[in-house]
């Protein structure tokens, strides 16, 4: 009897240990360790655009690298932010055409992505710090280009854009593509899509280890709590109708929470991060119309 009890306890302890290890590894993966960095394979000169390499540091000392593509006669700048596990080249190839409208364009890699430093990202909170450093750099080095600033964010870039615009009245307008509704929801969805494991008790444990790795609870930086604070400045929400990682229903919920002016476009047939590819000419035209009207 004692031997049976001991075996049962050993099995329980083993299961607990495996559960904890799984949750710790998943939390680390979600925080984008530098080992998952994707190299750049796109540069502006491939599209015949002159550019300047830029470098700046965040308040916590992370070196961020990017590009500034000037339009010397323009006082208007759009800052572009890529998605989770991507880099600035992934966004550039779908948005560089906006330079022809007379805007300055600024692209940068989030920490632990592309050419930027840093060992880990988050899924919004640390990326917000990177954006704030980009804005500070722009104001310090190119004040002429800061009369009107618009933001464009893809995925976690959209999360950072919404959160910054909510607290920074200098931001004139925001385009957010594929942003999640809440941090808790996106982690739960990601774990289910990749591992098909139950929400409880695994997701609360994963969230616990994510919070231990960050100095704050990232849930408070979720777009659901911030998008309403942007009004009356305009927000354009774009989302793939067939996005499996962040279902289109979350875009609808964000749109409902946003104040006026606002618009939403659920791109038919588009999966995660594929709105530009699927949307084609209409995607470009909608972006041009939005920025021409509000920036």
Q: What is the pLDDT of residues 144-171, one digit of tens each?
A: 999 999 999 999 999 999 999 999 999 9
Is residue 51's pLDDT more than 70? yes
| Residues 107, 149 within the same domain | yes
Using CA atoms, how far apart are residues 100 and 124, in angstroms rounded to an integer? Answer: 30
| Residues 22, 155 within the same domain | no
For residue 149, what are its two tokens? 């600033």
Which domain covers residue 121, as residue numbers? Answer: 41-182+222-294
| Residues 21, 47 within the same domain | no
Higher-pLDDT residue of 34 and 57 is 57
Look at the chain and report how many structural domains it folds into. Answer: 2
Q: What is the pLDDT of residues 167-204, one digit of tens each?
A: 999 999 999 999 999 888 878 887 877 777 777 777 78
- Residue whose C-alpha is closest to residue 290's, from 215, 250, 233: 233
Q: What is the pLDDT of residue 167?
A: 94
Query: pTM for this one?
Result: 0.89
| Residues 193, 265 within the same domain | no
The overall average pLDDT reported for the chain is 89
Across 201-230, average pLDDT: 83
Tell me whether residue 137 is in a domain. yes
Using CA atoms, how far apart are residues 138 and 64, in angstroms rounded to an integer? Answer: 13
- Among the residue ranges 24-33, 35-44, 115-124, 263-272, the one predicted with the least confidence is 24-33
Is residue 5's pLDDT more than 80? no
Across 73-88, average pLDDT: 93
| Residues 191, 72 within the same domain | no
Tell me whether residue 36 is in a domain. no
| Residues 16, 55 within the same domain | no
Q: What percent of the chain has pLDDT over 90?
A: 66
| Residues 109, 14 within the same domain | no
Tell me whether residue 127 is in a domain. yes
Among all chains, which residue has been given the structure tokens 């920025």?
Answer: 291
Q: What is the pLDDT of residue 4?
A: 57
| Residues 77, 151 within the same domain | yes
Using CA atoms, how far apart are residues 175 and 26, in angstroms rounded to an integer? Answer: 30
Across 252-269, average pLDDT: 96
Using CA atoms, how far apart are residues 27 and 121, in angstroms rounded to an integer? Answer: 11
């Amino acid at each position: 009897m004692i031997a049976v009890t001991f075996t049962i306890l050993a099995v329980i302890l083993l299961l607990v240990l495996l559960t904890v290890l799984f949750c710790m590894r998943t939390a680390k993966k979600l925080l984008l360790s530098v080992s998952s960095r994707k190299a750049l394979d796109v540069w502006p000169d491939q599209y015949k655009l002159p550019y300047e390499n830029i470098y700046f540091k965040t308040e916590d000392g992370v070196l961020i690298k990017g590009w500034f593509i000037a339009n010397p006669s323009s006082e208007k700048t759009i800052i572009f932010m890529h998605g989770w596990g991507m880099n600035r080249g992934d966004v550039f190839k779908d948005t560089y055409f906006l330079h022809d409208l007379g805007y300055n364009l600024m692209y940068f890699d989030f920490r632990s992505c592309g050419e930027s430093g840093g060992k880990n990202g988050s899924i919004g909170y640390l990326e917000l710090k990177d954006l704030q450093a980009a804005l500070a750099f722009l104001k310090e080095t190119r004040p002429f280009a800061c009369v009107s600033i618009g933001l464009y964010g893809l995925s976690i870039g959209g999360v950072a854009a919404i959160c910054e615009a909510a607290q920074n009245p200098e931001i004139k307008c925001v385009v957010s593509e594929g942003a999640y509704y809440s941090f808790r929801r996106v982690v739960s969805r990601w774990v289910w899509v990749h591992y098909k494991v139950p929400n409880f008790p695994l997701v609360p444990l994963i969230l616990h280890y994510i919070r231990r790795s960050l100095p704050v609870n990232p849930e408070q930086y979720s777009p659901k709590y911030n998008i309403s604070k942007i009004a009356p400045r305009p927000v354009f929400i774009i989302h793939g109708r067939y996005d499996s990682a962040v279902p289109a229903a979350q875009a609808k919920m964000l749109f409902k929470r946003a104040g006026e002016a606002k618009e939403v476009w659920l791109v038919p047939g588009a999966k995660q991060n594929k709105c530009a590819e699927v949307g084609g000419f209409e995607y470009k035209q909608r972006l041009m119309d939005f920025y021409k009207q509000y920036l």
